Amino acid sequence: MIVVGTHHLPFVFLYGIWQFWMLGGALVAGGLLIGLDVPASSSLGGWVTGMVLLAFALVCHSVARKEQMPVAAANGRKAKKRISVLLLAALLLVAARASAADLRITDSRGTEVVVQAAAIDYGGFVASETVTEGIRLMQGDGAVMVKWTDIETLKVTRRDESVKPPRIELEVVLRTQKKVPAALLRQGRMKLTGKTELGEYSIDLDKVRTITPLK
């Protein structure tokens, strides 16, 4: 018992676990008491050593579980947070794809293309600001967001070159067949993007002559 007890004492310094002081001290003290009081018993020391080591193992296991529980809980919370962020990003992506419309575009050359999942980038040099649900127009002196779901067709009626940049006047035919005059809102890149049967597509709004939402 004395040899086993002294063997465990260096673990205090090797692993920084102060409980080995208790284990080593208990074994050394128990060995001395048994050696002085029951010197004739050759097996008692072994049984006591086994019970002390078993009790020490159970105590250390309990302490380790208590110390690991907050860490495991914190790791679990972090994992749940990461999963929540990924799910939110996926939902936003799906929602953005669902809100994006397919548009029939006619450009300044008269070329007609169908643009799927169309979006308009109103961002500047630093960051992009993509809009998928509609187009930003000027109605008088005010700005308005017109949704694709409300538009039957949008057609350029006049390009005023007397101002810089040119003012592009439009006629918006709503789903109710009402015709509303408007103008193109000048903001950021003003680039319409999406996909055609040939691949990725982009065009400056200045070069668009008609837009017809398909869904």
Report pLDDT for 94. 47
Domain boundary among 56, 72, 94: 94
Sign of CA dihedral 120, 123, 128, 129: negative
Q: Indicate the average pLDDT of the chain.
A: 81
Q: Are residues 85 and 49 part of one domain?
A: yes
Same domain, 88 and 106: no
Is the pTM of the predicted complex or chain greater than 0.85?
Answer: no
Percent of the residues in the chain that have a pLDDT greater than 90, as a whole number? 43
Q: What is the pLDDT of residue 86?
A: 66
Last residue of a domain, one of 94, 118, 148: 94
**Which residue type does 169 have?**
E
Per the structure, the count of domains in the chain is 2
86 and 123 fall within a common domain: no
The residues near 11 (Cβ < 8 Å, ≥ 6 apart) are 17, 20
Residue 194 has what pLDDT? Answer: 94
Provide the pLDDT confidence category of residue 135 given band limits of 50, 70 and 90.
very high
119 and 40 in one domain?
Answer: no
Q: Tens of pLDDT along 104-132?
A: 999 999 999 999 999 999 988 777 889 99
Q: Among the three residues 94, 120, 137, which one is the final residue of a domain in this structure?
A: 94
Residues 192 and 107 in one domain: yes
Which domain does 129 fall in, by range?
100-213
pLDDT for 134 beyond 60: yes
Q: Do 140 and 40 fall within a single domain?
A: no
Q: For residue range 45-85, what is the model confidence (pLDDT) as tens digits?
A: 777 777 887 887 787 767 666 666 565 555 656 665 666 66
Does residue 184 have a pLDDT over 90?
Answer: yes
Q: Angle 111-170-135 (CA atoms, 0-180°, nearest 5)?
A: 80
pLDDT for the residue 17: 67
CB contact set of 171 (below 8 Å; sequence gap of 6+):
154, 155, 157, 179, 180, 181, 182
208 and 126 assigned to the same domain = yes
Q: Are residues 106 and 125 in the same domain?
A: yes
Q: Which residue has the tokens 């930003």?
A: 136
Residues 58 and 126 in one domain: no
Looking at residue 13, what is its pLDDT? 73
Tens digit of pLDDT for each residue in 17-52? 667 777 777 877 877 777 666 666 666 777 777 788
If asked whether residues 176 and 113 sit together in one domain, one would say yes
89 and 156 fall within a common domain: no
Say if residue 147 is in the same domain as residue 108.
yes
Place of tokens 């015709």: 179
Provide, rounded to the nearest whole percent, the portion of the chain with pLDDT above 70: 72
Who wins on pLDDT, 174 or 75?
174
